[in-house]
Amino acid sequence: MNALILGTGSWGTAFGLHLAKNWDNVVMWGIEESQVNAINNLHCNPDFLPNIELPGNISATLDLASATPDADAIFIVTPSQVTRSVAAQLCKCTLKNTAPVISMSKGLELSTLKRMSEVITEEVAIDDAGNIHPIGALLGPSHAEEVGLDQPAALVLAGTSEIWHQWQKKLSTDRFRVYTNHDIIGVEISSAFKNVLAIATGICDGLGYGDNIRGALMTRGIAELTQLGSVLGGRDETFYGLAGIGDMITTCTSRHSRNRNFGESVVKENISPDDILNKSVQIVEGVVMTEAALKLSLQHSLELPISTEVYNVLFQGKNPEIAIKDLMDRTLKAE
């Protein structure tokens, strides 16, 4: 089996390490020449997972077209806002007929409010040669730093096709358990929205608040996710599964969480959220998702108070302490 991973960031690299244990070859495509050269010549990715050695059956390339003909499966692990352009490039390449294209990006396209699988479907479900490609999503609690060290993890492979039961077996190991779920809407919305909650948790951590408010934010955050996800077509049980509450717990509590860490930095660093983002090596998907959540709440007449206050802090310059106070002072009601 040969895999093509689009993206040379931390998660793409860690997932490549996972696949390389049982697959014949893993090719990573990227746009940063220094990263590609490091993967090929130093057998590591010093920008993201510097202390982990990559095996010989992992290679990297800058030339997407050269890597596609042999790929039995293609995994898109790019930032959400460039996924459409990457999928459009992929569509023009020579691809194996019926080779699945699997999204591993956690976010929504801000300009259209579409999920990543919708974006990829529009661009490459039928490629320029007329070949058909099943589109799925592999998401869930999966920090790259732990997967790269071969620590146990469990994820969800979501899609409406029956083929995903076959790919479930091809992707699973005794350290990487994959479940299937036909509710790709719920899985993708959950994986994107939990980043907003992680930023909120980080803001509270930055203010020096403790476990009580973290538990409250996460619990009421799941209520917001359920409201939003349900109106968009997701199933309630998905929001309480791995891609929902599972990924939320991981992202809101982990030192590896770039979204939680970003929220904490918003409070602790004496610079604007934009400046924090500009100096970050990794993409903080929760910032864009905060904008998307606010747009969707207005579009569907939903009340999402946590999401709204995160938006106010990030985009309106609201004092974080006042934002938390306003959440606590809302009109009392039954749970």
Which are the catalytic amino acids? 194
**Taking a C-beta distance cutoff of 8 angstroms, is the pair 144, 160 a contact?**
no
Give residue for tokens 């999402």.
304
| Class of residue 94 by CB neighbours under 10 A (exposed 0-12, middle 13-18, buried 19+) | middle
- Please, which residues have CB within 8 angstroms of residue 279's CB and are 6 or more apart in sequence? none
Handedness of CA 29, 184, 73, 171 (dihedral sign): positive
Residue 109's H or E segment, with its range, is strand 108-109
Which residue in this structure is represented by tokens 């860690």?
14
Burial of 269-305, coded b for 16+ CB within 10 Å and e otherwise, reads: eeeebeebeeeeebbbbbbbbbbbbbebbeeeebebe
Q: Residue 82 contacts by C-beta under 8 Å, 6 or more apart in sequence?
A: none
Distance, CA of 187 to CA of 244 (rounded, Å): 7
